[in-house]
Amino acid sequence: MLRFIFLDEKKWNLDGPDGNHFYWHDLRKDPQHLSRRNFGGGSVMTWGAFYRGGTLELQSTSTSMNSDDY
């Protein structure tokens, strides 16, 4: 019997996809680039896993992590 666990993690930035936004005031000019993450918008990291017998509990954290914590 093969035993596998599939897992993945995702970091969600709370101020948008990557903190950067574009807009065009005049379509004949180059787009303006805005950054909204001046002081950090915060983020949440989530982990999920599943295997043949079901799923594992979804985990999340909003604190910084080093490699040992991970």
Tell me: the pLDDT tens digits for 21-58? Answer: 555 567 777 766 555 556 666 788 899 999 988 998 98
The CA–CA distances, whole Å, from 17 to 11, 43, 55 equal: 10, 11, 27
Q: Which residues, including other chains, have CB under 8 Å from residue 45's CB and lie 6 or more apart?
A: 9, 10, 11, 12, 60, 61, 62, 65
Is the pLDDT confidence value at 20 over 60?
Answer: no
Determine if residue 16 is left, alpha or beta; phi over 0 gives left, psi from -120 to 50 gives alpha, anything else beta. Answer: left
8 A C-beta contact, residue 22 and residue 34? yes
Q: What's the whole-model pTM score?
A: 0.52
